[in-house]
Structure 1
Amino acid sequence: MANEVRRPRVLVVGQGAREHAIVWKLAQSASQPELYAAPGNPGMAAWAETVPIAASDHGALVQFCRDKGVDLVVVGPEQPLAEGLADVLAEAGIPVFGPSREAAQLEASKAFSKRVMEEAGVPTARHRTFSDVEEARAYVRAQGAPIVVKADGLAAGKGVVVAETVAEAEAALEEMLVGGRFGASGRRVVIEEFMKGVELSLMYFVDAHTAVPMLPARDFKRLLDGDRGPNTGGMGAFSPVPRVTQDVIDRVTREIVRPTLARLREVGVVYRGVLYAGLMLTDEGPKVVEFNCRFGDPETEVVLPLFAGDLFEVMWAVAHDRLDPAMVSWRQDAAVCVVMASAGYPASSETGTPIDLPAALPEGVTVFHAGTRLGDGGRLETAGGRVLTVTAVAQDVPGSIDRAYTAVSSIHFSGAQYRRDIAHNWQS
């Protein structure tokens, strides 16, 4: 028909479980967008055309958008945002959901983030920044332990060491500042006081004028049950967090998020996209552990399944500075996700291991692909550290836990690692 309205075309940049969840939710939009994912993964192929373009190839992504008439680009991972992909797209006249390179420094440089928080009067841990290992060692010895050592730059969620002893902190400094464990990201470190309290993840949709909170979530960073073992990118999460009241969320918005965004605007930086506030609920009130410049992973895999609005409508509004809080609403349910990782993770990962997925999953369960690929004969196999995120939605957290682990028990690949205690502390 000559007057038929063209469906919007959306490109999602990224290839992990977070991006899979974004594609899955966008596919539910009333606008029925035509979806592309670059480079995507096999799990996304049910809803999006996967495109073999790396997230780092900005020129090829811009050309693809021009060739296909893409109306909106959603940038999932932090690395391309820190490298300025949103700026390149904006300069080409392509609407984008995701912050500029300058705004993304809130995650890409912990020293920058701390400076903004100081200038905005935002509560966070006491800290110092160092590039000289001897000065850093002296500071750690003076402060004592426990103490937190963070690589200044991006480190895929693995650049934080919560040191229980001075010796452990000094070893982390040696690895980062001398051994070059995280390359350029670890040439400078931020050393922070250890904050006591309850951790919380709170993400916001943000445009030039408005910040709207999502449901609170809690993730689990350590590899092993009981919060033992090395830090990872995240081994699971749940949402909502029953103890986090609307009053707490309002306080975070008022004392942390709005002042941070206002300070950025004062120095000429407008933030658009998702702002993730990693928080510690202390006796003195909420304090910032870290900011991220994108959807959290695995928090996205529990928050988006509970989103009752139209994600395309919200993302389009953010990109055009038309965000309205009325666009954001939530289901009265709970979600839990369990990450299944490959053998060796997080130090290394086995790839090419066949994955056996059941033909049918329990009610309310969705499996988001993270590190997967199609091997010989089209078989699904592992292709990274975190392989699958198994998400379950039920009326409450205990019901979601049961559904998630029932599903996990039906999925098999050699050497699979996963925690058995995700959401064990849902009431605390």
Structure 2
Amino acid sequence: MSIVKTQPSETSGDINDRWSPVIAVALSTFTVVSSEMMPVGLLTPIADTLSVSEGTTGLSLTITGIIAAIVSPFVPALIGLHDRKSVLVTFMLLLALANALTAIAPSFLLLASARIFLGISMGVVWGLAAGLGPRLAPSARVPFATTLIFSGVSIASVLGVPLGTYIAMALDWRAAFWALALLGVIAAAALTIALPALPAHQTSGVAGTAGVLRNRGVAAGMVITALVVVGHFAGYTYARPVLEVDAGMSAGLVVVCLLIYGLAGVVGNFTLGPFAGRCTKAATVAALAGVALATFVLPFATASTVAVLVVLIVWGVSYGGVSVSTQTWIGKADPARVEASAALWAGVFNASIALGAFAGGLVIDCAGTGAVMLSASLITLVGLIVAVMSRPQPEASPKMNAEPRTRV
């Protein structure tokens, strides 16, 4: 890894007292996650229009996740010394273009092609945004800044997917992607106005990025992230069929359920997020335990709408804290290489989304909705065991571990 020190342009008086840069990044994460997750709320109408199965339509998430997972770990090496602000703005505009291409896609092949561009954009934006908290806030406020940045993830579930589902009901599923294209342009404009220049403080080659895995705390955090995200998306990608088929809900009631789930996710983000700054392991364990429990119980709760809503609230609160708690885990384990570890974490996160959506599609097509939720629970449970047995503390250097000599 080569280190290049650059005098930062942001000053504490300028940035630390203003939250507009953090909010602009949060808007970007909201747009990215809304764009990625939109097929979840539109699975059935997209499948009907393009004459493919719901399992095939779910591959649109897999494609995006795979591309983002490939791109994210290489972001520090690829962008080198380029100003991070300029890179973020450029790839938010590419994301807007990808959504516009999705909106006009006449076939699943062309829709999948558009989602490749979306995956590239996601990989870069996630790879940078995940580690920006320490650059946009003073040390005492970094946990809240990170929580605010990742609030875009949970708020996307509240406003993004349900609103897109509502737009599809009122107009057409393509209109939802046109709305996302416009939002991408707005997010790029917000980044242009609000962010200061973000010159590179260091560059990391591919070997340097992969090298963070030699830290046991980072490696454990990556494994935990992979397992909970695979488990979550194996189930959540196919939540709509569960609600429609097993619980017999109408499309309108499904929208309400997704909205309540999303609101719970916001609560989880702003509850578990700051808590993760103080008690990282406890917050991570709580988040994974809730996801494992909710995905296990949901198939048994479909006889009652109230029971379904209770399970979705538990699921939403729990998963709402996953992004910020796992990223905090990674950052605490190796605070000296935040950008490199954040880029690798983003790659793991997106690869896990792809694997989860793909695995869930295979299970639901072969064994049905109950089996897909049980699989999601078991995978998450393994992640919970790893979290209980691990810790995020940074490893002590050899000098710190050495026994002090006693003078005689």
TM-score, length basis structure 1: 0.28
Normalized per residue, which structure has more strand? 1
**Greater RCO, CA 8 A, separation 6+:** 2
Normalized per residue, which structure has more helix? 2
